[in-house]
């Protein structure tokens, strides 16, 4: 997988850089968001938590993909400006809730009653 940054634009109002990129992945499957975000973070000299991959579109038949990402100055900036579904999709700020001390584990859902057999005529 080889990532090339095509265009980069500074957005000081939202404390981020907007990055358009291409990925050459001939002979391989389309890379996942996490792998792409880590590579972009290295290229942009940022942290993984500050990179939000907006989209990756595969070009049919040639082993290349195009995408758009936003590289924020801090994780807090990303959390304040991005939609929740994009943060969750990128694994940013999503932490499983800690169980309360001394709390019992959640109960399993009740099973639905079995359906009665039908009589055929």
For residue 117, being part of any structural domain is answered with no
Average pLDDT of the chain to the nearest whole number: 86
Q: What's the domain count of the chain?
A: 1
In a domain, 96, yes or no: no
- Residue 118 in this model has a pLDDT that exceeds 90: no
What's the pLDDT band for 35 if we cut at 50, 70, 90?
Answer: very high
pTM as predicted: 0.72
Q: What is the pLDDT of residue 16?
A: 95
Residue 27 is part of a domain; what is its CATH number?
3.30.70.330
Helix (H) / strand (E) element for 86: namely helix 84-90
In this predicted structure, what is the pLDDT of residue 92?
A: 87
- Domain assignment present for residue 19? The answer is yes
- Whether pLDDT at 7 is above 90: yes
Query: 8: which residues sit within 8 A by CB, 6+ positions away?
Result: 17, 18, 19, 20
pLDDT-derived band at 109, boundaries 50, 70, 90 = low
Res 67 pLDDT > 70: yes
CA 91 – CA 87 distance, rounded (Å): 6
Residue 14 has pLDDT above 90, yes or no: yes
Rounded distance, CA 104 to CA 42, Å?
Answer: 42
pLDDT at 81 over 70: yes
Say what the pLDDT of residue 108 is. Answer: 62
Residue 17 domain-assigned (yes or no): yes
The residue range of the domain holding 18 is 2-90
């Amino acid at each position: 997988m080889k990532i090339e940054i095509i265009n980069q634009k500074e957005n000081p109002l939202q404390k981020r850089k907007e990055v358009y990129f291409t990925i050459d992945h001939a002979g391989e499957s389309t890379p996942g968001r996490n792998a792409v975000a880590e590579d972009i973070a290295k290229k942009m000299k940022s942290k993984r938590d500050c990179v939000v991959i907006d989209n990756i579109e595969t070009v049919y038949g040639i082993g290349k993909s195009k995408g758009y990402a936003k590289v924020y100055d801090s994780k807090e900036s990303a959390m304040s400006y991005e939609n929740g579904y994009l943060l969750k999709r990128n694994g940013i700020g999503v932490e499983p809730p800690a169980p309360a001390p001394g709390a019992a584990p959640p109960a399993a859902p009740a099973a639905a009653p079995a359906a009665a057999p039908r009589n055929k005529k």
